[in-house]
Structures are given as structure tokens and as C-alpha cells.
Amino acid sequence: MSSPETSEEKGINLNAKREAVDLRGLPLLSLSFQALGIIYSDIGTSPLYVLNGIWPPDHPPPPREDVIGSVSAIIWSLTLLPLLKYVFISLRFGTTEGEGGSFALYQGLFPPVAKDCDADRTLTGDSTSLDETLAERSGGRRITHKVRWPMLIWCLMGTALTMADGVFTPAVSVTSAVGGIGVAKPSILNKVSGIAIAFLAALFLVQRFGTGRIAWTYGPISFIWFLLLAGTGIYNITFHPAIFRAFDPSRAVLLFVRTRNYDILAGVLLAITGCEAIFANLGQFNQLSIQLSFTTLVYPSLVLAYLGQGARLVHDGNAVISSVFYKTIPGRTDGPLFWIMFIFAILATIIASQAMITATFSLVQQLINFKSFPPIRMVHTSEVIQGQVYIPAINWALMIGTIVVVAAFTNVANLTNAYGFAVATVMFSTTVLIAVHIYYVKGLPPILGVGYFLIFGFFDALFWGAALKKVPHGAWVPLMIGICLLSLMLLWTWAKSLEDNFDRKNRKNLRQFIQQEAYRLDQDKDDNAEGAEDDSSSSESNLTYYYMPGVGERTDTGEVVRRERKKLQRIPTVAVFLKMTHGKGVPHTFIGFIRQWPALPRVVIFLSVCIVPVARVPKEDRYAVTKVRTIDGFYGVTYYLGFRDRFDVQIHDLIEKICDMERAFNPNGSAAVIDRIRAVAQIAATHIAPHYHVVSKEVTAGPRPVSVTVNWMRRYLIESIYRRLATMFPETGNWLTSAEEIIQVGIHAVI
């Protein structure tokens, strides 16, 4: 093959890898400010309901030492988990592309194969094996592939529960804030759910504007909210300065020793909900921006707020227990500051929902890129940060789920029961994965991984145990959602890997599949020109014929079938064949297509798409062309797109690029070839979008009853579920082309 074109672009490296965003100075401060409006409002709105989650409003106020102990438990939970575990440790374990969350940790252990866009244009070579490159990475140690599926299931469960958390976070936060209106206006307390649903609907409707625009809108609101929390906290502390004893961790320990009430931890857990969103949203921002904003504003404000609420609960007791947050706002109940806090509480809880919504978008993006989720449409909303995406289908699914949850649970107490379990499970999942990362990816001594697991796993297990007791009281809902999502992810990952392995094993060298033979007219006078055209490089006395060789092929039953040699007619058209998988050689879908339709277009273009880590690729640099020298009219083309570019293959531009390549390859003898290419391009241009019609193969699994059962289940999962999902969510479903005609080609694949 020949490729005069290189992959180096004028000004843009088309072979560059996506990397974490690295900003300094004013841009870093700007991104940190945006993070306030996206990441922290979930954990920042916890003061609305945490103390009432520990000490129910329909119970008598707790003794002074119990209040101090509960505030101590909250402060040290904030310090050990969000601050230490997530902000200072977990953020260092994102992918090299800057993504975070449970699935990012799995990708660190089992990195996906790096896509070689140049190799996609090699049609006369063999494809590489997945196993040769799957475990290769810089630094660290290899982890055995025997644990790949257990680790995948573990991390997907964490990812699924994080997405389930994306349903409950908006429900809990907004309902809690709206419930504050009952403090000043008890008459409309029964309308809280309806008001909350209206706010939630508005929240999801604005998602299409993108993370950046939303962050700049929400950022100032969150900034003021944290200042209000800090200010009211400082004021309330003056009522009982001894509340600072809560910084002594022994106060928290003595609380549980004294009360023997393990359920208190389920309430404390509500203070750290949203910490997983800090890690999951890493791809939307970057490590430094999150660390800067959390340590300088978020953490101090939350600590002051809880200290202030604890001080007022000790000092006033019965007067504030019914609604600790709203009753501890300085001034009278319906005074100006109360309504200011109420308005900002509503706004902050709406923003709180944003943290898990954007985290869910980031996680789904990772899942789609790793082929563990159906390829639904993603919209990149930033010109700078590739991780900022909006996914319409996920947005509407979250909206429907959240509204149903609010309507079904009717009050905050029931919602918080369901809320904490997903959070605690995800935190423990992350701890296990990071402990493994420390040894296998970072290459650090195993004692560090064991120490990390023992310390943070202990605290995570405490919270998880407390949350587990809430399963019969509502926590079964996020668990059910998580299991459904996990089942979908596992099915898609398994079936898609079978399909890709089938494609990889059945790729062929183009020269092995199509033969080109030239004859002199005086050597074979009985042959006529039917079914053949003059080759572009032949003289008038030569004819060129194209054949599919009659090789023997083994069927599924093991029988070898000899195929007859078949002549292929060249027709005057251009065919753009989309390569749906990466690798060298000709995909099996093209081989099956030619067998069904034994004719070759005069110009055959194998088009593969390569997304590069820039927003937009200039028009003149979008196509890289490789010519197959041994068979006329075949070209491999890489179509380079920025992550914000629209898929729009212009046949005219592509043909001109091919002509330029022909001119550079053969300066003196290319005129006839170029004229022929342009002539057939004017006649017709067809896009061929292939896909596999998957069929489950029979497997042997022990005794006949077991084998029959396994094959039935396998056939049901692949043919009844996966095949239908693949039809509903095709990889080409959102691609727009300039072709006059698109042919959808389905080829059987026995997987």
C-alpha cells in the first residue's frame, strides 16, 4: 500500500491522545468557580436535612453531649471521606484522559486498546489481537485477566448505583428545600411534592445548554449559598461556643458507646452524599480546580454550618428540633433573612441535583466509549473540555425517574431512607478499586494498598451497614434500579465483545479476498469485455478481470465447503463503506456484502472515523488517504473529526483528496485515473452502512440438560434482547452524510 499523506496536521497533531485538562492561573480560578455551580451543591445542601435525619423532628431534643457527638461525627466524616479520601486521594486515580468515577478505575486496571487510526487504512494487512495490547500501560504491574470479569462486575455495580443516585439526589434535595416553606406557611405544606416536581422539570429542561453555561449561571448562586452557610454558622456558634468540642473525635466515639444507636450513622451518611460526584465529575473539570474550590470554600462553610446548627440545638432545643435548618436562621421566622435563605436553599438544591446529573452524563460517556452501554447520542457542549457532554436520552430518563420518585415517596423521611444506601455502596466500591490501583497501576508497595483499604474500607463498611438496614424502608428502590442498569451493562459488554471478536477473527487481507488479473487480447480472444473494464494502468490491448478466489471454507459444523471462483463486475460508481471497528484488513461485513452482491464499484472507499481531542478539525485536514497498489480503485480513508464536529462526509471533498493523492503518487501517469474517478463520482455515490445480524452459536456445557438450558438462555439474551437493542441504537444512527443513497447491509454473525 502507499500513503503519501501523513497523519501530522498543520498545527494539529491528529495522532494526539486525549489528556486531562491542565490549566493554571486565571483559567484555573475560572474553572474552580464553575465547579462550585456543578459539583458541590449536593454535599452543600446536606445541612438542610442532616441533623433532622439524625434527630427526627417528632422526637424530643437530644441531650447536649449527644448533639456535640453527632456534630463531631459529621465533621470527621466530612474530613475523612470527601476531603481526604476523594479530594486529596481519589482524584489522583482518574484515567489519563482525565475521567473519574468507578468505571475510570476499571479502565486503569484494564486499559482499552489504543486506536491506531493509521492502521485502519491498511486494507492488505491482518488485524491485531485484543489480548496483545489490553494490559499494556506505562508503569504499574500486570493484573491477571482471570479477575477481569469479577472486577468489571464490581465496578459496573458501583457505576450503576451512582447513576441510580442521580435519580434520588434531585428528589431528596429539592423536596427538602421546598419543605422549608411549611415553616413559614404551614397551609401549603401538602403541596410540597407538586412544587418540587415543577422545579425539577425546569432543572432538566435547561440541561441542553451545556455544563459550561449552566456552571456560569449556577456558580454565583452556589458561591453566595456557601457564604450564607458560613455566616449563619458563625452567628449560631455564639449561642454555645462549647460546640467546638466537636473537633475532638472522641466525642463521636462516645456518642455511639453511650447511645448504642447504630442507626445514627445512617443520618450522618446524609452529610457526605455527593462525595462520589466529586470523583465522577473529574472529567467535567480537573483535579486542581476541584481541590482548590473544595478546600478554600466548601469544606470550611459546611463545618461552620454544622457547628452553628449544633450550637442552636443545644441552646434552644424544643424551639428548633422541628426544622433545625430553617429554625436556626437568624431573625424571625418570616423575616427578610429567612426568605433570602429559603430562596437560595431552593436554588442551591436545584443546583445540587446538577452534580449527579452531570456525573451521570460523564459516566455514560465512559461506558459508551468502552462499549459497555448502547451508543446513544452525545452532544459535546464545550470547545475546550471534551468531557463536558449532554446526553438527551439520559436527561429525560433521569427526569422521569426523579418525578416518579418524588410522587411515590411523598415525604423527605422516606426519601432519605432510600437515598443513603446507593451512596454507601458506591463509596465502598471505590475504596476496593483504588486499593487495587495502588499496587497494579501506580506500582506502589502493596502495604499502601492494604492500609488504604483497611482505613477507608472500615469507615465505608460502617456507613454501608447502617444504610443496609434501610433496605426494607425504601433503599430497595435504588438497589433495584442499580441491578437493572448493571444487567443492561453486563449484557451489552458481553455481547458486544463477542461481536467485535467475531469481526476481528474474520477480517481478511484484501489480496486474499479479491484477485486482479490482466490479460492480453491476443492471449484470450474468446474473452470479451463483459464484466470487465479497462484497467486504468493497462494499454488498449489489455483487459483486467477481478475474481473472488474459490477457497475452501469451514462451516459451523466443521464441514469444508469449496467455493467456485467468481468473477466480479466493476460498475461505474463510488461506494463509501463505513468501517465500524478499528484494525487492519477488510471487515467481514464487506466480504459478506460482496458475496451477496458480486460486483465491485469502480471506486471503493473504506472510511473509518477518528475522533481527535480538539473541538474542530479544519476542513482541509479531515481526510487522510491510502491507496491499495495491488488492486485498482481501492482506498483506505481516515475521517478525522473534532469532538464538536458534525459527521458530514462531503463526497466532492473526499474525491478531490483521492485525486490529489493519485497525482502525488504518479505525477506523470495519473491524468487518466483522475478523469475516471471524477467521472464515476458524478454518476453515483453510495454510502454503505454495515451491521451484524447476530445469531447465537451452540455451545457445549456439560450434560445435555445443562447444555440445552445454557444454549436457550444464550440464544434469548443475544437474539431476543441484544439484537433488538443493537437495532434500536445503531452506531450509525446519529451520523448524517451527504450521500445520495445509504444502503443498510446486514451480515449474519454467529457469535
pLDDT at 620: 81
pLDDT at 16: 58
d(CA 245, CA 71): 9
d(CA 347, CA 729): 36
pLDDT at 647: 78
Which helix (H) or strand (E) element contains residue 539? Answer: none
Q: For the ranges 1-15, 90-104, 461-475, which has the lowest average pLDDT?
A: 1-15
d(CA 394, CA 378): 10
d(CA 266, CA 698): 49
d(CA 8, CA 408): 57
Residue 316 · residue 205 · CB < 8 Å: no
pLDDT at 357: 80
d(CA 170, CA 355): 9
Residue 175: pLDDT band by 50, 70, 90 thresholds?
A: confident
d(CA 36, CA 229): 14
Per domain, the residue ranges of the chain are 47-109+161-474, 509-514+565-750
Question: In this model, does residue 530 exceed pLDDT 50?
Answer: no
Q: What is the dihedral of CA 27, 32, 38, 42, to 10 degrees?
A: 180
The grid cell for 414 is: 422516606
Of 263 and 605, more confident: 605
Residue 581 · residue 503 · CB < 8 Å: yes
Residue 132: pLDDT band by 50, 70, 90 thresholds?
A: very low
Question: In this model, does residue 539 exceed pLDDT 80?
Answer: no
Residue 8: pLDDT band by 50, 70, 90 thresholds?
A: very low
The grid cell for 202 is: 425546569
pLDDT at 543: 65
Question: In this model, does residue 62 exceed pLDDT 80?
Answer: yes
d(CA 240, CA 287): 37
pLDDT at 386: 66
Residue 262 · residue 255 · CB < 8 Å: no
**294 DSSP assignment:** I
Question: In this model, does residue 524 exceed pLDDT 80?
Answer: no
| Residue among 668, 534, 652, 548 nearest 602 (CA) | 534
**709 DSSP assignment:** H
Considering 5-19, 41-55, 305-319, 660-674, the range whose residues carry the highest mean pLDDT is 305-319
pLDDT at 392: 87
Name the packing angle between helices 336-369 and 192-205 (round to 10°): 50
Residue 535: pLDDT band by 50, 70, 90 thresholds?
A: very low
d(CA 128, CA 552): 24
E strand spans, 86-193: none
d(CA 520, CA 541): 6
745 contact partners, CB below 8 Å, separation of at least 6: 589, 592, 593, 688, 689, 690, 691
pLDDT at 249: 94
Mean pLDDT on 665-688 = 83
Residue 193 · residue 410 · CB < 8 Å: yes
Tell me, what amino acid is at 331?
A: G
Question: In this model, does residue 459 exceed pLDDT 50?
Answer: yes
Of 243 and 385, more confident: 243
The grid cell for 242 is: 462549647
d(CA 97, CA 198): 37
Question: In this model, does residue 179 exceed pLDDT 70?
Answer: no
Question: In this model, does residue 637 exceed pLDDT 50?
Answer: yes
Question: In this model, does residue 2 exceed pLDDT 70?
Answer: no
The grid cell for 262 is: 447504630
Residue 215: pLDDT band by 50, 70, 90 thresholds?
A: low
pLDDT at 528: 43
Q: CB atoms < 10 A from the CB of 456, how many?
A: 24
| Residue among 81, 82, 122 nearest 637 (CA) | 122
**557 DSSP assignment:** T
Q: What are residue 586's DSSP bridge partners? A: 508
pLDDT at 588: 85
Q: What are residue 608's DSSP bridge partners? A: 638
Give the residue ranges of DSSP H helices in 188-335: 192-205, 211-237, 249-259, 264-269, 275-280, 287-293, 299-316, 324-327
**86 DSSP assignment:** I
Question: In this model, does residue 9 exceed pLDDT 50?
Answer: no
Give the residue ranges of DSSP H helices in 614-716: 651-665, 671-683, 704-715
d(CA 631, CA 683): 22
Question: In this model, does residue 400 exceed pLDDT 70?
Answer: yes
Residues 274-286 have pLDDT tens digits of: 788 788 778 777 7
The grid cell for 399 is: 427526569
Mean pLDDT taken over the chain: 80
Residue 362 · residue 284 · CB < 8 Å: yes
Question: In this model, does residue 491 exceed pLDDT 70?
Answer: yes
Q: CB atoms < 10 A from the CB of 263, how many?
A: 11
Say whether 372 sits in a helix, a strand or coil.
coil
| Residue among 726, 732, 729, 728 nearest 749 (CA) | 726
Cβ burial of 213 (10 Å; 0-12, 13-18, 19+) is: middle
> 47-109+161-474 sits in which CATH class?
mainly alpha
Question: In this model, does residue 248 exceed pLDDT 90?
Answer: yes
**Burial code of 391-427, b = ≥16 C-beta within 10 A, e = fewer?**
beebbebbbebbbebbeebeebbbbbbbbbbbbbbbb
Contacts 24+ apart (CB under 8 A), 263-267: 263/466, 263/469, 264/54, 264/70, 264/73, 264/466, 265/73, 265/462, 265/463, 265/465, 265/466, 266/53, 266/420, 266/463, 266/466, 266/467, 266/469, 266/470, 267/50, 267/51, 267/53, 267/54, 267/55, 267/70
Question: In this model, does residue 226 exceed pLDDT 90?
Answer: yes
Question: In this model, does residue 619 exceed pLDDT 60?
Answer: yes
pLDDT at 748: 85
Of 376 and 314, more confident: 314
Tell me, what amino acid is at 494?
A: W
Residues 148-169 have pLDDT tens digits of: 888 888 888 888 887 887 787 7
Q: What are residue 742's DSSP bridge partners? A: 687
Q: For the ranges 218-232, 322-336, 452-466, 734-748, which has the lowest average pLDDT?
A: 734-748
d(CA 741, CA 146): 46
Residue 565 · residue 548 · CB < 8 Å: yes
pLDDT at 410: 61
Say whether 9 sits in a helix, a strand or coil.
coil
Name the packing angle between helices 671-683 and 651-665 (round to 10°): 170
Residue 632: pLDDT band by 50, 70, 90 thresholds?
A: confident
Mean pLDDT on 531-545 = 48
Residue 1: pLDDT band by 50, 70, 90 thresholds?
A: low
Mean pLDDT on 44-53 = 86
| Residue among 335, 312, 336 nearest 324 (CA) | 312
N- to C-terminal Cα separation, the chain: 32
Say whether 692 sits in a helix, a strand or coil.
strand
Give the residue ranges of DSSP H helices in 604-743: 651-665, 671-683, 704-715, 723-728
DSSP notation for 479-527: HHHHHHHHHHHHHHHHHHHHHHHHHHHT-B-HHHH-EEEEEETTT-TT-
Residues 408-436 have pLDDT tens digits of: 776 556 666 666 777 888 889 899 999 99
pLDDT at 566: 80
| Residue among 325, 271, 326, 327 nearest 302 (CA) | 271
| Angle CA 156–158–161, to nearest 5 | 105
